[in-house]
Structure 1
Amino acid sequence: MRNMTLGTRARQTAIAATLGMTLGGCAASAQSSGPFSLFDNIFTGSISQGSRTAPQAPRPATTAQAPGAAPVWSGEDGASGHPLMTAAAIREAASNFDNCVASMWPDAARRGISQDSFQRFTTGLVPDLRIMDLMDSQPEFTKAIWDYLDILVNDNRLAKGREVLAKYKPQFDAAERAYGVDRYIIASIWGIESNYSTQMGDRSVLQSTATLACVGRRQKYFRDEFLVTLEILHRGDLKPEQMRGSWAGAFGPTQFMPTAFKRFAVDADGDGRRDVVDNPADLIFSTANNLKKDGWQSGASWGYEVVLPQGFNFMLADRAKAMSIAQWQQLGLKRANNQPFPNPADKAYVLAPAGADGPGFLMLQNFRVIMKYNPAEAYALAIGHFADRLRGGAPFIQPWPRQERVLSRAERLELQQLLVQRGYYRGEPDGQLGGQTREALRGFQASIGTPADGFASSDVLERLRGR
């Protein structure tokens, strides 16, 4: 076996270029700043482990960049404040990249990866430090949920989805028989994750996972993703050129992380390879297997749009407060289309993603399964609704509060800081409005006698400022 340090002058030069430095250590240009899938960041700008994301727009470059050139690392500290995301720590880790990759050889060998494969797939690797900016990106604005639904569930995508369902009907038929997973959900994931294989990302999964295994704040997690990437390539399921995707390593039409591929990928046609990129049967079966193993309930819906009664107690709108649909009906909830619920004994929880002025939903077990695929409520709602539309269902009936203005990041930070001052929020303000912020908002809203829906509106910010 050749020297596993792979410390060639050419690679050192390439690494220095990614750092914006000469080999002599002089500072050079520092330029701009795009996660687990092509979808995540369009909702929150944050990364959740295991999720499948559309890159954020780059930050403005601090120095000139050649037209058409790929953005490079900004050279700045990461917004997370993590010690491994400081510019100095990133440079130090990148300078040790060769040794870091070489140090993973014993683990690779224990996984059955040959010396030849390890050498072949790691020779020439250099870190892509642009990823550090994307990992810690903090978008100034996020979009409202109704804007995302408008973007993701549209006539063009629905038409393409129906074409895909017709074209691959035998494969969808077989997958439904084998796994009991609704074909429309699989087609919906395919459409929303990659717009039916047209937007899968173009970063090398091998380079991305190697970078993240050696640089930045998630090294332990991504070390496993990198080693599994080597396993996939060594086994021959996929070729390096097929493994291109998001900066965090999600790849293929339904955006598998390497470890998810290892757990769920299926060789549907018996050709000896699990090809979730270019083989529709393997893709459909593997996605169905993933959902099934995550707890998909055959023949059941993901949820229902419901009308919440006047005076509804929004403290009950909580994922942890599931009740039977019959119990929700006793509290005055009814389907928005006035149809009966098929199974009143089903357990469900209330979701009010736009607060008291928007539509309500009862979410079943299959909604929770979709959220295991990508843990964003807006994502799971888009998947479920898109699937219903593919099978001929109608758009949502109740209007969204489109008059509401989305808060800027500075306003979101201020909102959290004001909640801290009043004793409602105990987390560290970060501008990301998750479940903890929602709970804090509910507490404040209840204290002033307004619907405790946890919705971060400009009005509730003004009320916080005024107390």
Structure 2
Amino acid sequence: MGIAVVCGALASCAAGPQTPSPKPPVTGTPSPAPETGPIVYKSSGHAAMDAWRDDFSARALAAGNDRAIVKSLLENISPITMWLGSQEVEVQTQTAPSDQAEFAKPIWDYLSTPLGNTRITQGQQKLATTSATLAGIEAEYGVDRQALLAIWGMETNFGGFIGRDDAANALANMAVEGRRRSLGESELFALMKILKDGDARRGDLIAGWAGAMGQTQFMPTTYVAHAVDFDGDGRKDVWKSEADALASAANYLARSGYVMGQPWGIEVLTPQGFDFSLADGTERRMAAWTAAGLSPIRGGAFETGGADVAELWLPAGASGPKYLLFKNFNVYKTYNRADSYALAVGLSGDMIAGKGGPVASWPTHLPPLTVADIRDLQTSLNALGYDAGTPDGIAGRRTKTALQNFQKARGFLADGYPTQEMLAAVKAGGPSIN
């Protein structure tokens, strides 16, 4: 044994057991205890908003939502003038459905942007640059690429503008304003789930004024139900990932009943003396429409991809373009209930795919009714016993059906299209039918 080793061993024995040195005392401030009780917020400067937030925050915590998530969504909310302007009438006017473009404009004016050269050219460029992604989405979800591109263009101009509002703040304002409080709160709960599940980060939640998010404008509940991670990065990023946004829209359309390879609609010719009262919203078999004399305006036979029923729709009356509508048209309306929106999606998708737009001309010579005129028409139809619903200034299906019934009873051409002539006739309409 070497000398060094022996000496080391002897020294170890001499030292005996070692007493551990005492640990130095803990210094500094101990970690604070977790917060409990109601979350305390700084004032938003709006008393009604503060009161709503305290109540909603307490309900969110009681429902088991994560405290940090609830606080992150609500701590910086502030009044938005469009929702909570100083005068109630101003808020109601600015957010009235009749002020939205798809209801307020003549349909040919509404279509001018989605069918314009700029939008269609951009769509065709996207069709080329995202071809591989779109092919994968078609294979996975069974939704035609032109439909996805059309919706993408309609919603955010192909991701060019996804909104500038914070989703939580927009939805909080909706809830405080009151008329859609239940909707606003339901969507806020969905935001909490999105953050809890890790599908998005707090800073991602950019939205439009009504809380719709991302390149294809999903409300939070729609996101929870239908958003997908198509690019495989672990997040459902409908804001920055084109693949995720388009695949999420495809998933939504597929679950809403979209049928790949079938048309949304076909523009048709009608024969001389055609009974336009058949444009009453009723679906009929294609054999019945053919027997009634309808034919594709571009010639040839009807190519429906297997669809066997359709309804006849006259978006601008008997003197404008006429369409047989199929199931996919109604699927488009799950995005936006306006017929004009679904028509814009269908036509712009066709044009992006290289097909033409409307062949027949729009009746631009007919001066459109104002919102006030349409309310007057609805009130007068109701007074005569033709149910046009609540006078809201929107010439929707119910109003057009009521007008069509009036026209049939009074011997007019029954196309249901509201014109100045029809307004005058209804106001002078005579006794009630009841």
Alpha-carbon distance change, 136 to 387 in structure 1, aligned in 2, over 3 angstroms: closer
Who is 1:88 aligned against? none
Who is 1:135 aligned against? 95
More contact order relative to length (CA 8 Å, sep ≥ 6) = 1
**1:108–1:227: 8 Å Cα contact kept in structure 2?**
no
For 1:341 and 1:138, the matched residues in 2 are separated by 36
Displacement, 1:345?
A: 5.8
Larger Rg: 2
Which of the residues 236, 241, 260 maps onto 2:222?
260
Aligned residue for 2:111, secondary structure, equals helix
Does residue 2 of structure 1 match 2:35? Answer: yes
**1:438–1:454: 8 Å Cα contact kept in structure 2?**
yes
Please list, as runs of the form range in 1=range in 2, the aligned pairs for 1:369-384 lying within 5 A after superposition.
369-384=331-346
For 2:341 and 2:43, the matched residues in 1 are separated by 40
Matching residue's letter, 1:271: D
For 2:63 and 2:197, the matched residues in 1 are separated by 13
For 2:307 and 2:77, the matched residues in 1 are separated by 55
Who is 2:299 aligned against? 338
Who is 2:22 aligned against? none
Which of the residues 456, 459, 465 maps onto 2:421?
459
Please list, as runs of the form range in 1=range in 2, the aligned pairs for 1:229-378 lying within 5 A after superposition.
229-319=191-281, 321-343=282-304, 346-378=308-340
For this pair of structures, how many residues does the alignment match?
A: 385
Displacement, 1:369?
A: 0.8
For 1:276 and 1:4, the matched residues in 2 are separated by 35
Displacement, 1:411?
A: 1.2
For 1:108 and 1:204, the matched residues in 2 are separated by 23
For 1:4 and 1:247, the matched residues in 2 are separated by 32
Does residue 227 of structure 1 match 2:259? Answer: no
| CA deviations over 1:392-432 (Å, ceiling 9, x no partner) | 10121111101111211221121112112222136332222
**2:114–2:120: 8 Å Cα contact kept in structure 1?**
no
Who is 2:115 aligned against? 153
Which of the residues 193, 196, 209 maps onto 2:158?
196
With the length of structure 2 as denominator, give the TM-score of the two structures. Answer: 0.83
- Structure 2 segments unaligned to the other structure (5+ residues): 1-33, 85-90, 430-434
Matching residue's letter, 1:11: S
Who is 2:46 aligned against? 15
Displacement, 1:340?
A: 0.9
**2:162–2:239: 8 Å Cα contact kept in structure 1?**
no
Matching residue's letter, 1:212: M
Alpha-carbon distance change, 352 to 292 in structure 1, aligned in 2, over 3 angstroms: same
For 2:37 and 2:413, the matched residues in 1 are separated by 62
Alpha-carbon distance change, 138 to 379 in structure 1, aligned in 2, over 3 angstroms: closer
For 1:218 and 1:100, the matched residues in 2 are separated by 17
For 1:114 and 1:96, the matched residues in 2 are separated by 21
Displacement, 1:350?
A: 0.7
Matching residue's letter, 2:351: R
Percent identity, aligned pairs only?
34
Who is 2:72 aligned against? 120
For 2:264 and 2:97, the matched residues in 1 are separated by 32
CA RMSD of aligned residues (A): 2.1
Aligned residue for 1:224, secondary structure, equals helix
Which of the residues 376, 387, 402 maps onto 1:440?
402
Displacement, 1:445?
A: 1.0
Matching residue's letter, 1:224: S
Matching residue's letter, 1:139: D
Displacement, 1:108?
A: 5.0
For 1:100 and 1:211, the matched residues in 2 are separated by 14
For 2:205 and 2:73, the matched residues in 1 are separated by 12
For 1:118 and 1:345, the matched residues in 2 are separated by 48
Who is 2:27 aligned against? none
Matching residue's letter, 2:187: E
Q: Mean Cα displacement is larger for which, 443-452 or 329-338?
A: 443-452
Who is 2:11 aligned against? none
Alpha-carbon distance change, 100 to 135 in structure 1, aligned in 2, over 3 angstroms: farther
